[in-house]
Structures are given as structure tokens and as C-alpha cells.
Amino acid sequence: MRIVSLLPSATEIVAALGLADLLVGRSAECDFPAEVLTLPVVTAARVDTSQLDERRIDQAVRAAVIEGRSLYAVDEQVLAALEPDLIITQDLCRVCAVSSGEVAELRSADCEVISLDPRTIGEVEASIRLLADRLDVCRSGSCERGVDLVAGMRRTIVSAMDAVVGRGQRPVFVAEWLDPPFASGHWVPEMVDLAGGRDVLGRPGEPSYPTTWEAVAEAGPELIIAAPCGFDRERAEADASAIDLPAPHVAVDANAYFSRPSPRIADGVRQLAEIMHGVPASA
């Protein structure tokens, strides 16, 4: 089977299942594990986030959405040459990756398309099992590896939960964007809860949403977790330090451990337990 993954979390899952050799193409955002970086790039974002501050990125994305323009460019020639049997993408967020609807419109995409759209940690686990089951037909044992992968996530999360027992829920605000601020959604508030915290404006299972720093201040968080979607810790720290925040902050690598519905969100829960309560949680 020849797989093109247009979704970073799916690329991570396929590789974690021991099936990275089935991948023949990726999106420009698929950057983990390192072995996938040599794969041909099929899609890339039209907005160069490295050259813009968060306010201008937000404005560019909003303008594209209002005008109905895709945020991603697809290289149909490369896609056709790769002759994939399966394309993995999503419909959860227009900002995150090419949608399955966009893929269906491509003349070069005459193959099976799987859309992964988890909104909770349980649904992330279900996505892993779905891919493991689907790919078992071409590599026997994938189902068992999927079960093991989910079990490993749960062990990491339970370890973090055990480390914060009896410490109370610390009120925090997870900023999925900083300028303007976006309150967290989908699996992120659940991650905070499991790590012994309470996201004061988060909406579990629902999309992130814009708010104001005044509203954040009124909600009374003791700590702000700077986790702008798609950015690493260094970029998050630089952006957070440039804003007059209403509470102390800690920057995290959202790109790796929070933004993507992949197995590494379990490590994100462990990191949150350490950040909020200062307790080490073993993997």
C-alpha cells in the first residue's frame, strides 16, 4: 500500500505503528518523526507563518476563510506521480490541513480517502485503532500495535494523574493563540483536567474560540500556558514575552504535544502536571 498523509498527526500515527515505509508523500507540516522529512511534499500552507506575527497570521487566515479560499496549495503533479492507494486527511479544522472535500475535487486523487476528526482524547485513541485496523490488511500485526500504542498513552496519562492526586485543580488559561487570544478546545481542556488543572475558559470537545485578555483576567487563572497552535516552545515564548499578560506564563511546544491529535498528547498531559504542580510524572 502507498500512503500519502496530509495530516501531521496521521503521519505520526502511521510511523508509531511501525508502518512509516508505507508513506510515500506528506504535507509540509508533517515533520515527525525525522525519517518522514525526506518524503515528497504534496501540500503546503499558503500563509508563511515564519514571516508574520500572530495578529497578521490571524488576519490572513480569516480573510481566506471569508473569501472561501483554501489555505493550502496542492501539488497535483507530485500527487499523481506518487500513485497513492490511500490519502489520509481531516475535516476538523480548515486551518490545520487540506479537507477531504478538497481532496475529492482533485483529479489526481482517485483512491481511498480517510478523514480523521477526533475531538477528545478518547477519539484520538479511536483514530489510532481505526488506522491500525485499516492497515492490518497490508501488514499483519498492526491491530496489536495499535492496542499497544493506546495502552502506552494511557500509562503515561495515568502516571501523570497519580502524581497530582490530592493537589487540587489549579486554575489556568491555555492560550491556543496569543494575538488575539484563543481559548482552548477539543482535547486540550481534557488534558488540563487530567493533569490536575482547570482551564478557566476552555471548552472540551468543542473548537477553540477567540476571547480577550480582559476576559482572561476576569476568569482569574493563576498561570497562562502559552501554546499557540503549530508553534514550538521557542516561538511561543517569544510571542508571549511580547504581550502584557494578566498572569505569569509558561511556554510549551504546542506543535509537538498539544495541537496535534497524536500519541504525543499523552506526553503533553505529563508536561502539564509538571508545569502546574511541580511534580515529576514518569512516562
The predicted pLDDT at position 61 comes to: 76
Instruction: Tell whether 14 and 102 lie within a shared domain.
Output: yes
Single out the residue in 76, 98, 117 at which a domain terminates. 117
Select from 117, 146, 179 the last residue of a domain: 117
Specify the pLDDT at position 14.
Answer: 96
Do 113 and 7 share a domain, yes or no?
yes
| Domain match, 10 and 110 both | yes
Q: Which domain holds residue 250?
A: 167-277
pLDDT at 105 (0 to 100): 66
Q: How far is CA 105 from CA 100, 109, 111, 189, 276, in A?
A: 9, 8, 12, 35, 46
Check whether residue 99 and residue 178 sit in a common domain: no
Q: Which of 265, 264, 182, 164 is nearest to 224 (CA)?
A: 182
CATH classification at residue 264: 3.40.50.1980
| Domain end point (choices 98, 117, 136) | 117
Looking at residue 110, its pLDDT comes to 74
Rounded distance between C-alpha atoms, residue 77 and residue 75, angstroms:
6
pLDDT of residue 157: 97
**Does residue 155 belong to any structural domain of this protein?**
no
Going by DSSP bridges, is the β-strand pair 209-210/181-183 parallel, antiparallel, or unpaired?
A: antiparallel
Answer yes or no: do 175 and 264 share one domain. yes
Which residues of the chain fall short of a pLDDT of 50? Answer: none
What phi and psi, each to the nearest 5 degrees, are found at residue 106?
-80, 130
Residue 50 lies in a domain: yes
Does residue 45 lie in a domain region? yes
Structural domain contains residue 123: no
89 with 27, same domain? yes
**Coil, strand or helix at 182:** strand
pLDDT at 108: 60
Q: How many domains does the chain have?
A: 2
- Is there a domain that residue 103 lies in? yes
DSSP 3-state helix, strand, coil percentages of the chain (rounded to 5)? Answer: 45, 20, 40
180 and 253 housed in the same domain: yes
The residue whose grid cell reads 510515500 is: 24
Residue 282 CA, distance from chain mean position: 22
pLDDT at 183: 98
Check if the beta carbon of residue 106 is closer than 8 Å to that of residue 76: yes
Report whether the peptide linkage leading into residue 33 is cis, meaning its omega lies within 30 degrees of zero: yes
Judge whether 154 lies within some domain.
no
Q: Give the pLDDT of residue 93.
A: 61
pTM greater than 0.75: yes
Q: What pLDDT shows up at residue 281?
A: 58
- 23 and 95 co-located in one domain: yes
Residue 157 lies in a domain: no
3-state secondary structure of 220: coil
Same domain for 96 and 195?
no
In a domain, 127, yes or no: no
**Rounded to an integer, what distance in angstroms lies between the CA atom of residue 229 and that of residue 197?**
20
> What's the pLDDT at 177?
96
